[in-house]
Amino acid sequence: MQDVRRAAVIGLGSMGWGAALSLLRVGFAVAGCDVRAEILQRFEEAGGKVCTTPAKAVEAADAVFIFVVNSSQAEDVLFGENGAANAASAGTVFLLCTTMAPSATISIAERLEAAGMLVVDAPVSGGHLKALSGEMTVMGSGSEAAFAKAQAALDAVSAKVFRLGDRPGPGSQVKMINQLLAGVHIAATAEAMTLAAKTGIDLQTLYDVLRVSAGSSWMFENRGEHIVQGDYTPRSAVNIFVKDLGIVTSEAGRSGAVTPLAATALGLFKEASEAGLGLEDDAAVAKVLAKKSGAVLPGMEGQT
């Protein structure tokens, strides 16, 4: 097994940032690329190599993580001007960590493989704290050769790697289902907390009870705390779930599946985005329900 010790991370958002720091922590030389100058400065201070284009980032990398927002951005950083695919050496392994429609992932993977690259379809889960600690879950699919070359890098960023198939595609399919559940759970958390506020239940007390009761979920434990604290700092923004649940409902429509809960949750996220909350934490969908209900949540104007 080849021990990869040179990596690049393209996209230093909450998950990419955590992955890059996890790689540095175990001794990788890591090149980071992002459009935000302040993030690049922080990355340099953390010990990373700063690159302003994807092409520069991959020049000496054996493993390249793609952590951009959507498939359009992935295509741009890979195949656009100063894209990574043209600058990488043949045999470089690309880990596609962006949440994309499975069809988009397959298309991008085929283009990379045609250029002589190895590819792991590698969407991740676990939130920004798991990313920082190197304990993400990877929903992976790809060839044996791709996994072998990426093994050391995957070990650095993840606690569990599921190998779901020998071709790109299944990883993105499983992540899509994960996002269906995650989005619906966030919407349900927002609804529950808003109802509690409207009926006069102390939100901290409710949270303490429910997080150890049958109605809890990982999303309730995580996003419920954000609502109780009135903290809508974006760990994962509302607009992310506009995209992700859009993928769910679109792919479901193509396959003939019926997803009424996902469609309802998507409508709520869209409403929050249109209300100017798109860049806030995705728990901010609770504000939409609270406003409609005449309830006041922590952090909302009018709180007493």
**So which residues are the catalytic ones?**
175
- Alpha carbon distances (Å) from 248 to 102, 107, 181, 187, 257: 10, 18, 10, 15, 10
DSSP string, 289-300: HHHHHT---TTS
Closest CA to 172 of 257, 103, 220: 103
Angle at 67 (CA atoms; ends 62, 71), nearest 5 degrees? 110
Is the distance from CB of 152 to CB of 126 less than 8 angstroms? no
- Alpha carbon distances (Å) from 124 to 109, 134, 162, 176, 287: 17, 11, 10, 11, 28
Q: Which amino acid is at 223?
A: R
* Residue 11 falls in which region: left (phi positive, over 0), alpha (psi -120 to 50) or beta: left
Alpha helices in 102-237 (DSSP H): 102-114, 127-132, 144-157, 170-198, 203-210, 218-229
How many Cβ atoms sit within 10 Å of the Cβ of residue 267? 13
